Structure 1
């Protein structure tokens, strides 16, 4: 009994020390490495590398010129040269606008119409959190590529084909595909909370339906729309795989250029760019968190009753059905095109793309990408990620629901990876651990696979925390108080009462963490460079530049694995964090 009490007393602090230690090693230290190397010059430290980028027209365009000649902003208006950072912001703005325009009608349909499968469709709006971005890219190549589904149909109809690959249009469209469900998810939740009585009161006072919508509903939806738009902008600004695959260096964003500089072994420029990007994304994330915190509120509103989607023809139903057609084309089309491209060829239906994957696996050349190796690596890295991310995420969720000095630090650690791109984490792990670190007279190094698992865990544990924390916060305090009054310690209450009640949320977080690891591309493509530690997303990227068929076949394999994870999330995540 005495030993059990000692274990209870020291168990939680020990777990806290281990968790914070892992975060320090896997996240804080690699990011610090990038920060230090960005200002490291021969013989010491200097801001010169940062200044050189800020004053370089290639990176900041006319704004770099304005540092020495502010009048250039007037002379060159409106023909501004944006530079790399300016273009990154520009495409993120366009992507955000497109995602909002595509997502808001979806929010309206979800909030105001009842139809079979509505719950499943609403669950599908969580796809941006689990769908690998490289899979979106290959889906768009299969749809809009030179020999894609769209051009095949246009040729069969005798119409001119279109060239969308490596254009800004396809990047914006792919980002809208990826982020519009997020807009719909956030806005639909707000729309369902709009009090029907307020609208009825406005109508009874003589307001037209349009006036009531503008004056009553829009002000209540605006915070949710702005929240979703800000998140979408952050995601688009930090987008990597989609831009790399669909735009290449000709339409490079900051993330893509950092990756190129790493490949060119220009680590000084890469780290300096990464720091500037990180500062910008941190500022955006901070603004988002502050704004989100101000908008949180419980509502006792009486929502309007949903309208049956099937019924007499009306303008509302025609709009809903019209949007359903658009949604099928935009959201289902790319994934369906990927599946179709994987089983078709010049001879018609065929499985030769999957046979190619099998033949490639049997090839004797080790330098070639082997599909089965990629699948096995992805599964092993996913399992390793769970071993780290789930305990860390659960612990941070438990701590974040307690009131104590320093809680804000824990909350920051729980969200910090959202503000730091995988490219930065991967670069820091590469420079800090894979290449080795000198300490205490020794050179410490870790293998690439271990670094990949660490990077995946960093990206995954916040999803565990975000799933478990709301469930813990929702536990009836009387249950805890009853257990404490019977003599149970705080740790025993957590183990015997609280955690068993949030098992579904933990399982949902686990599924999220696994899906995040399976689809993670940004850090993996840096850490797997030149080795055999490539995963399914990295294999897809390497196949895209050579043969579309094998890339789509590997994409289908990734789709199946991701789909299984999503089904688990859908079944277990109801009402918890992102899964709800």
Structure 2
């Protein structure tokens, strides 16, 4: 067999092995460290810690509350998301495509940004209290309550449910509903018996994803609830801060087992529900026209959507430029002045911005090649491909807190091997953690684009003597450059906003980022926290614009 043929046959499997080896180093090994630490007590392997947790009423209540708040958050997100899906799928209006694109925001919006937006809206000095005080009504402070956590989760996850459900709604076969009506079914009966069964799989898919996200939520609960309303993730972070790594690892493993089981259930359910789009979807109605029940509902939902989705962001911006004296830029001046006056142990705002940008750039160097390589592997047929696909998507089901803890214990603190102690600096560990969270989005953007390339183009090039590797480099990858760029923008935005692993790896050092700076400011100085939030919002917004422009029709960007 010619060397070229041999290279082609082993090239893709070799590429998969190299990529998985890198993934093993930055993800599976750190997670393995957490697993081992959870079962090692005083040098002896034991399940004693798990038995202690299961026998402790405090920890049972902790898991119970985590599930409870996730259920409430899911209900609230479904209640907000499904009507939004109806408006997007059934009505035509200026800006509909833009608003539909905005439903991808949960993938790139930093959770700490959501938290600071809700503090600026519903906190003690928030916009809501300013309005209530102006009209002589009693003020309220929702910070530290379960209600604000549920609302923040709904803000974050409802657009995801709307996105998934709207796609299903647009694929509903209009003829089925018309047939039911022609046989005498009332509009309500046709909706209940014909439409709901077709939409239910999409709603359940979105609800399950929302439950997983809310169950693993960290930054929102930490910033809005603190230890008084701690979930498992928040308590793991608390135990890490108290240097109780054994308990932290045990809780993290138990949470990871539950999240992996839920994610597996989601993937199995999603695979069973995939179906081709209907031949004739229902026509959209014009949002502007004579008054009807449907239009009144749509406009009523628009009011609710503005209050829930727009007011927190507007409140964030307003809080950054206002004070007791009215309009002011002192919060932004503070960010500049603090850089020169802060002590070493204090957060320096410009350092946080610089770190975020540097870590974002470093993340791209690692995440983009990994994501593209795995996209190539996922579109090739060879033995073991499904296993590689599963392993490559594992970071979706493991929280950043677990990854951060594993990197801290395994690399930052050092690992003994071959008679040496290998250590990694905090910034490198942060970049590794960010890459783990970012590369799946590159893969999910690039893989569909590669799979959508016309086979005849590849076959024509091969018939002219081009090797498989040459076809990939000269034809296929250039055709999916927009998808690669969209994945790159996703990876950068995710790195910029990543909080869960960063807050662990940046503790006690100067490797803090903008999200970490916001969390440290939020308890003491709301103004500077909102100013830093606006800076983070601008960076994230620019990334989103790039995604929206380049990601049309690819993965999450479309």
| TM-score higher than 0.5 | yes
Task: Quote the residue 1:101 is aligned against.
Answer: 79
401-410 or 271-280: bigger deviation: 401-410
Q: SS in structure 1 opposite 2:280? A: coil
Q: C-alpha deviations, 1:405-426, integer Å up to 9, x for none? A: 1111211123101100000000
Q: How does 1:430-579 map to 2 (within 5 A)?
A: 430-579=408-557
Q: Are residues 1:19 and 2:19 paired?
A: yes
Task: Quote the residue 1:269 is aligned against.
Answer: 247
Q: Are residues 1:33 and 2:33 paired?
A: yes
For 1:265 and 1:474, how far apart are their aligned partners in 2? 50
Task: Quote the residue 2:347 is aligned against.
Answer: 369
Kindly indicate whether the alpha-carbon contact (under 8 Å) linking 1:9 and 1:491 is maintained by their aligned counterparts in 2.
Answer: no
Of 358, 362, 385, the residue aligned with 1:380 is 358
Kindly indicate whether the alpha-carbon contact (under 8 Å) linking 1:8 and 1:492 is maintained by their aligned counterparts in 2.
Answer: no
Task: Quote the residue 1:127 is aligned against.
Answer: 105
Q: How far off its partner does 1:88 sit?
A: 0.1
Kindly indicate whether the alpha-carbon contact (under 8 Å) linking 1:243 and 1:252 is maintained by their aligned counterparts in 2.
Answer: yes
Q: How far off its partner does 1:471 sit?
A: 1.0
For 2:126 and 2:26, how far apart are their aligned partners in 1? 41
Kindly indicate whether the alpha-carbon contact (under 8 Å) linking 2:445 and 2:554 is maintained by their aligned counterparts in 1.
Answer: yes
The root-mean-square deviation of aligned C-alpha atoms, in Å, is: 1.4
For 1:50 and 1:289, how far apart are their aligned partners in 2? 28
In structure 2, do the counterparts of structure 1 residues 404 and 9 end up closer, same or farther at CA, with 3 Å as the change threshold? closer
Q: How does 1:394-405 map to 2 (within 5 A)?
A: 394-405=372-383
For 1:11 and 1:413, how far apart are their aligned partners in 2? 19
Q: How far off its partner does 1:299 sit?
A: 2.1
Of 187, 194, 203, the residue aligned with 1:225 is 203
For 1:543 and 1:148, how far apart are their aligned partners in 2? 16
Q: How far off its partner does 1:262 sit?
A: 0.1
Q: How far off its partner does 1:16 sit?
A: 3.2
Kindly indicate whether the alpha-carbon contact (under 8 Å) linking 1:141 and 1:246 is maintained by their aligned counterparts in 2.
Answer: yes
Kindly indicate whether the alpha-carbon contact (under 8 Å) linking 1:196 and 1:301 is maintained by their aligned counterparts in 2.
Answer: no
Kindly indicate whether the alpha-carbon contact (under 8 Å) linking 1:12 and 1:491 is maintained by their aligned counterparts in 2.
Answer: no
Q: Are residues 1:350 and 2:328 paired?
A: yes
> Structure 1 length normalisation: TM-score?
0.94
Task: Quote the residue 1:213 is aligned against.
Answer: 191
Kindly indicate whether the alpha-carbon contact (under 8 Å) linking 1:34 and 1:427 is maintained by their aligned counterparts in 2.
Answer: yes
Q: How far off its partner does 1:119 sit?
A: 0.6
Q: Are residues 1:294 and 2:272 paired?
A: yes
Q: How far off its partner does 1:18 sit?
A: 3.0
298-307 or 173-182: bigger deviation: 298-307
For 1:330 and 1:274, how far apart are their aligned partners in 2? 32
Of 381, 385, 401, the residue aligned with 1:423 is 401
384-393 or 40-49: bigger deviation: 40-49
Kindly indicate whether the alpha-carbon contact (under 8 Å) linking 2:342 and 2:348 is maintained by their aligned counterparts in 1.
Answer: no
Of 224, 232, 241, the residue aligned with 1:254 is 232
Kindly indicate whether the alpha-carbon contact (under 8 Å) linking 2:359 and 2:495 is maintained by their aligned counterparts in 1.
Answer: yes
116-125 or 308-317: bigger deviation: 308-317
173-182 or 496-505: bigger deviation: 496-505
Q: SS in structure 1 opposite 2:393? A: helix
For 1:30 and 1:173, how far apart are their aligned partners in 2? 33
Task: Count the aligned residue pairs.
Answer: 557
Q: How does 1:306-325 map to 2 (within 5 A)?
A: 306-325=284-303
For 2:37 and 2:410, how far apart are their aligned partners in 1? 10
Kindly indicate whether the alpha-carbon contact (under 8 Å) linking 2:86 and 2:169 is maintained by their aligned counterparts in 1.
Answer: yes
405-414 or 318-327: bigger deviation: 405-414
For 2:167 and 2:445, how far apart are their aligned partners in 1? 17
Kindly indicate whether the alpha-carbon contact (under 8 Å) linking 1:88 and 1:254 is maintained by their aligned counterparts in 2.
Answer: yes
Q: Are residues 1:151 and 2:129 paired?
A: yes
Q: How far off its partner does 1:89 sit?
A: 0.2
For 2:161 and 2:359, how far apart are their aligned partners in 1? 31
Q: SS in structure 2 opposite 1:443? A: strand
Q: SS in structure 1 opposite 2:421? A: strand
Q: How far off its partner does 1:3 sit?
A: 11
Kindly indicate whether the alpha-carbon contact (under 8 Å) linking 2:20 and 2:392 is maintained by their aligned counterparts in 1.
Answer: no
In structure 2, do the counterparts of structure 1 residues 370 and 364 end up closer, same or farther at CA, with 3 Å as the change threshold? closer
Task: Quote the residue 1:241 is aligned against.
Answer: 219
Runs of 4+ in 1 over 6 A off after TM superposition: 2-11
Q: How far off its partner does 1:300 sit?
A: 3.6
Q: How far off its partner does 1:5 sit?
A: 9.1
For 1:105 and 1:239, how far apart are their aligned partners in 2? 24
For 1:404 and 1:358, how far apart are their aligned partners in 2? 55
Q: How far off its partner does 1:568 sit?
A: 0.4
Task: Quote the residue 1:54 is aligned against.
Answer: 54
For 1:410 and 1:23, how far apart are their aligned partners in 2? 11
Q: How far off its partner does 1:10 sit?
A: 7.5
Of 116, 126, 129, the residue aligned with 1:138 is 116
Task: Quote the residue 1:65 is aligned against.
Answer: none
For 2:527 and 2:483, how far apart are their aligned partners in 1? 38
Kindly indicate whether the alpha-carbon contact (under 8 Å) linking 1:168 and 1:251 is maintained by their aligned counterparts in 2.
Answer: yes
For 1:513 and 1:318, how far apart are their aligned partners in 2? 40
**Structure 2, unaligned runs of 5 or more:** none
Q: How far off its partner does 1:123 sit?
A: 0.3
Q: C-alpha deviations, 1:325-358, integer Å up to 9, x for none? A: 1111110000100000000000000000001111
For 2:118 and 2:91, how far apart are their aligned partners in 1? 30
